[in-house]
Homo-oligomer: A and B are copies of this chain.
Amino acid sequence: MKVNFKNKSALDQFKLEKYKRGLKTSKKRSYIVQYFLAADRHYSIEELYDELRAEHPRIGYSTVYRTMKLLTECGLASERNFADGVARFEPIHRTHHHDHLICTGCGKIIEFTNRNIERLQQTIARKYKFVTASHKLELYGLCAACQKKKRKNS
């Protein structure tokens, strides 16, 4: 396999990782990876599977599942567990951490970061003599559109 070690694009990082592990390249996996990385949104396995099938009806659920796990291990995707009990994956194009605003009406997910909150979290951890490895901050509510919809229906 030819790997361009200078190209740091996400897809190449994936190929490089595969190379190190001795994986092979398959059309289906490549298609899944490209589709997912291009989408730039959160996907559950189910959602991704459904969309992919439109173009590639012979893709199996397990393959989508395994590909997402692979991407996660390679650091190209991040697995998130929100309140509905279904795991979602997001592409990682940038390194920095972010948190989520989740609309309980339509499922829209917005990412945000806030240095002050991060700082306050560290203050709290210090107070309780904790060394934090990770954190999770999720705000659940209604987005502007769903608020409007709700007002109409009541």
On whether the beta carbons of B142 and A130 are closer than 8 Å, the reply is yes
- Residue on B nearest A125 in the bound complex, by CB: B139
On whether the beta carbons of A142 and B131 are closer than 8 Å, the reply is yes
Chain B residue numbers with a CB within 8 Å of A141 are 125, 130-134
Chain A: number of interface residues, binned into ranges? 20 to 34
Chain B residue numbers with a CB within 8 Å of A144 are 129-130
Chain B residue numbers with a CB within 8 Å of A112 are 124, 127-128
Report the minimum CB–CB distance from A111 to chain B (whole Å). 10
A143 vs B125: C-alpha distance when bound (angstroms): 9
Binds B, one of A19-27, A36-44, A57-65, A113-121: A113-121
A145 vs B139: C-alpha distance when bound (angstroms): 31
Chain B residue numbers with a CB within 8 Å of A138 are 135-137
- Residue on B nearest A100 in the bound complex, by CB: B136
13 pairs, CB–CB < 8 Å, chain A vs chain B: A81-B83, A101-B132, A110-B130, A114-B120, A116-B116, A116-B120, A117-B117, A121-B139, A129-B144, A131-B141, A131-B147, A135-B138, A136-B136
